Amino acid sequence: MIKLIVSDIDGTLVPDGGYEVPAELYEVILKLRAKGIQFAAASGRQWVSIESIFDPVKEKIFYLSDNGAYIGCHGRNLFLNPIERKTAMDMVEDVRKTEGLEVMLSGPDVVYMETKDKDFIDWMVNSYKFRVEMVEDLTKVESEFIKVSVYRKTDVESHTRQLREKYRDRLKITIAGDMWMDCMRPGTNKGEAVKLLQESLSITPEETMAFGDQLNDIEMLNQAYYSFAVANARKEVKEAARFQTDTNLNQGVLKILKLLL
């Protein structure tokens, strides 16, 4: 019997940077919960963004945000994985030296940005619904950080190879789509977050269903027997998943969840 469902958001439930999911999904989540099945949204997004998307059911789900660096539920942070400060600052300095890249620092509740690109800021606030604080200098921010995000308008993977090589022993680095490279504390990923949630709820991988599309979803898929790649997923993700469903635009995740009812 399935007891836990975990789904990525961008590229899996919505287009990258999208905000709206079908209202029917909320109804299905509530019906699944009535049958004893928990739902968790696992994303590179900030928890505030996840909560905005799932507002009608925000008190009924778990948030695995910042690629597993934050585990919580409505109004409560359950577990954090902070990054060593010097490592975060070093990454900020190196990203600043690389043309075409933007860098953000995620605290537990606020994303800090120093960019001058107004369109980028508006996109983060209005599309992703992030709680953003603009600062003059990220290295002067007094906070603990759970994620360093590196953004490029396109093809971030090929333009961050040197950074990934330099920091591979100091950070857990993952590519989250065409525009984002996310950096967390070593050992932090969606799969570890799912494992911690499973252990807390006494749920096994054999009782877990997961959905994803990008490289940062693979550890999560490996933590669920019923692992699904959406049809628009990367090749590596399809190879890691046991099953496949329709594309995000054709509501592949919702189609499978409705079968459980």
Q: Please, what is the angle between helix 23-34 and helix 252-260, to 10°?
A: 30
Q: CATH topology for 4-80+188-260?
A: Rossmann fold (3.40.50)
The dihedral sign for the CA sequence 230, 233, 239, 240:
negative
The DSSP bridge partners found for residue 112 are 105, 133
CA distance 69 to 44: 9
pLDDT, position 18:
85
102-152 residue pLDDT tens: 999 999 999 999 999 999 999 999 989 999 999 999 999 999 999 999 999
Please answer whether residues 207 and 228 qualify as being in contact, where contact means their C-beta atoms are separated by less than 8 angstroms. Answer: no
Segments of the chain with pLDDT less than 50: none
If you search the block for the tokens 């299905």, which residue do you land on?
A: 28
Token pair in block for residue 103: 């860098």
pLDDT, position 79:
95
Number of other residues whose CB lies within 10 A of the CB of residue 126: 11
Token pair in block for residue 15: 């287009």
pLDDT, position 121:
95
Q: What angle do CA 208, 216, 21 make, to 5 degrees?
A: 70
Q: What residue segments make up the domains of the chain, in order of their start?
A: 4-80+188-260, 85-184
pLDDT, position 177:
87
CA proximity to 189, closest of 155, 152, 214: 214
Please answer whether residues 229 and 212 qualify as being in contact, where contact means their C-beta atoms are separated by less than 8 angstroms. Answer: yes
Class of domain 85-184: alpha beta
Token pair in block for residue 57: 């059911």
pLDDT, position 46:
95
DSSP per residue, the chain:
---EEEE--BTTTBSTT-----HHHHHHHHHHHHTT-EEEEE-SS-HHHHHHHTGGGTTSSEEEEGGGTEEEETTEEEEE-PPPHHHHHHHHHHHHTSTT-EEEEE-SS-EEE----HHHHHHHHHTS---EEE-S-GGG--S--SEEEEE-SS-TTTTSHHHHHHHTTTSEEEE-SSSEEEEESTT-SHHHHHHHHHHHHT--GGGEEEEE-SGGGHHHHHT-SEEEEETTS-HHHHHH-SEEE--TTTTHHHHHHHHH-
Q: What angle do CA 17, 194, 24 make, to 5 degrees?
A: 50
